[in-house]
Each structure stands twice: as C-alpha cells, then as structure tokens.
Amino acid sequence: MKSQAPLLRPRIFRPTPLNLNRLAGRLKRGEIIGVPSETVYGLAADALNPEACMRIFAAKKRPTTDPLIVHLASRYDIDTVAHVNEAALALAEAFWPGPLTLVLPKKNIVPLIVTAGRRTVAVRVPDHALFRKLIRLSKCPLAAPSANPFGYISPTSAVHVRDSLIGSGLRAILDGGDCSVGVESTIVDLSNPDKPRLLRPGGIEAEKIEMVLKRKLSRPSYKSISAAKSAPAPGMLSRHYSPRTKLILHTSLHPQDVMHMTVNEVCLLLSKPSAQVNKLLKPDTKKQLRWLSESGRMNDIAKNLFSTLRKLDEENWSVIHACLVPGLEGLAPAINDRLKRASAKA
Ligand code: TXA
Ligand code: MG
C-alpha cells in the first residue's frame, strides 16, 4: 500500500530582522506567506506575479471570481497600482494606514487574476508595522485576502492561520501577535467618485468616511447584490465567516436564557454577566456561558469575535446562540454583518 505524505504544517516565524528578510525573499520568489494585519491575518503574495497570486486561490480553495486586495507600504504608492481621484486621496490621507480599502480603476501593471478580470482594483495600507515592513523589504505590493479557508471564520492570530491551512501549500507565517481590530477593513468603491458606495462595513465606521467625503455613501442591499450580474464585492456572499457548528442569532440574550437550553448548547453574550446575575445561576449552567467582552465595549467585541467563534467551534457544542449588537453606530454594522453571514444557510 502506498503511504500518504504527511500534510505540511506551516511554520510560524518570529518577527526578527533576519526572519523578515528571509520571508521577503520568499515572497519575491513567488511563495505565499501568512502575514499579520490590524484587521485579520492575510495570505500574501507578490501582487504583480500572477503565478504567485494563483497560489493564494489554491491554498484558500477560493474561486478565482473573487478579487484580492492589494496592500501597499505607503499611501504615496497608491498611483503605482490605481488611477486616483480627489476623494480617494482625501480618504487615504485621513485613514491610512488603517482598516479602509478603496476600490479604484486599476492600472495595467496589476494582473487580471488579482482583480478577477475587473477593471478596478481594491487597495489598502495596513496599520501593522510588520506587514508594511515586509512590503518594503519584498519591494512589491502584496495581494492578500484573509488567511482562512474559503467561507470559514477569519483568523486573528498566527496559530489560527497555521491550524486551518495545514496541507494547503502555505509554508510560512509571520507572527505579529493578535489582531487589534479583529474585523476586516471597510470597503468603499470610489471607481465613480460621484457615487461612492460602501461595499463592506468594517474597521472604520461609515459615518467617519462620510464626514471626510462630505457626502453619503450608498449602501447596496444584499438583494441588489445577489441580483446583479457580477457582484460588486463577491465576499458579500450571504454565507461567509462561518463556524461548522450551527449558529443561532438573537436580538437580545440574557445569562438566564441558558436555563432554557439543552446541556450541549452554548450562549455567547456580548459582555460578562454581573456578579448579581452570576449568583442566580447554577454552577452547571455557568459552563454554557461565554462572553465577547468584559464590559460590552464595541472594540473588544470586534477584537474577540472571530477568535471566540473559533474556540467554540472546536468545543463540540451542538448550537452556538449569539447576540447581535444593538444600534447602528460605530462597529455595530461590521460586527452584525459578520454574525449574520456566519449564521446564514448555504
Ligand atoms: O481587512 C482586510 O480587508 C483583510 C486584510 C488581510 O487586509 N483582507 C480581506 O480580504 O478581508 P478578503 O479577500 O477576505 O476580502 C476582500 C473583499 C472581497 O469580498 C473581495 O470580493 C473584495 O474585497 N474586492 C476585492 N477587489 C475588489 C474589486 N476590485 N471590486 C470590488 N470588490 C473587491
Ligand atoms: Mg475574507
């Protein structure tokens, strides 16, 4: 009988100067590398090398119809890959480096595999010094989607990337610690600057973007997206970021609700139950309670969302009950968007 080759587990590299130089060299030679960012970890390749970019799609099992974001080291590099306009320059100045991606008409230098055949390219400057350092050292813009298998929960640590991409062809990940934002960048389509569109809510609040642009962003509805011949952001697929465990969403969820659940269901609260409520609960039922933050701070909820869903997904619960964030302010739209897609049926 033929013995199977063991599945290669990607190696995590500490961010020493030597390792950064090595990984930059490997990127330059066409390899894919797991990279840290402030939002989620990315799976990076030389954006100007079509074969290297093809490896990203293969490792993630991502359809080649879903375009990649191109990452730059500085906002002053934007015109190397995109045709800029005033609105784009204003947003780049206000929010880069940071969790904002701009969709603009592409320059010819960007291979069609990166943009999935589109005439537009998505660009951003990440707010993570190690990621920017790697772009500078490799001397190429880096195309990078989130480093998760297509459709699964996005990774917010190097270990998440390693554990979900074993045997994918990925060999190396740069460790940059836990992601500080925890949800992906906000995507704004400025290819027609007279009609700016919000394609994905994310780490920068839409209201802040509207303040800089001095106009409202249009928000395409999910219905219009699925009806469109080609979706404006294919990542807006209704099911995405999903745990394997069934996820049920609630508009409100209280620690006491756990008493109405069976023993293999877990209740994911937005904040830690108060000492008073804690006293009312039986020790057994307390094991079924988890929370996304100590005090309900929105930034903490976003930061912990994907890592907590991953943890729960590994624990063999039959159902995860989670709660939507109230209101439409701040990061609420981004958090609720990820929760809704994570719970959507295929
Ligand atoms: O925070 C982030 O944006 C992370 C980090 C690694 O930068 N990246 C990320 O990439 O979330 P990804 O591929 O998981 O999501 C990017 C989204 C996809 O939904 C893709 O369809 C959309 O951006 N996109 C890319 N290029 C586009 C384009 N030219 N027009 C419209 N949407 C585009
Ligand atoms: Mg993604």
Predicted confidence band of residue 237 (pLDDT cuts 50, 70, 90): low
Give the pLDDT confidence score for residue 241 in this predicted structure. Answer: 86
CATH 3.40.50.11030 for domain 246-343, yes or no, is: yes
Whole-number Å distance, alpha carbon 144 to ligand 2 midpoint, is 9
How much is the average pLDDT of 65-88? Answer: 98
**What amino acid occupies position 301?**
I
Distance in Å, CA 184 to ligand 1 centroid: 9
Q: From the CB of 23, is ligand 1 less than 6 Å away?
A: no
State mean pLDDT over 58-71. 97
Mutate to test the pocket of ligand 1, among 60, 69, 240 (most ligand atoms within 8 A of CB): 69
pLDDT tens digits for 332-343?
999 999 999 999
Domain boundaries, the chain: 11-226, 246-343
Band of pLDDT at residue 175, cut at 50, 70 and 90 = very high
Does pLDDT of 10 surpass 80?
yes
Confidence at 253, pLDDT banded by 50, 70, 90: very high
Indicate if 246-343 has the same CATH topology as 11-226. Answer: no
| Domain 11-226 = CATH 3.20.20.70 | no
- The owner of tokens 């973007």 is 209
- 244 pLDDT band, cuts 50/70/90, is very high
CB distance 174 to ligand 1 below 6 Å: no
d(CA 14, CA 159) in angstroms, rounded, equals 12
Position in ligand 1 atom list of the atom nearest CA 68: 25
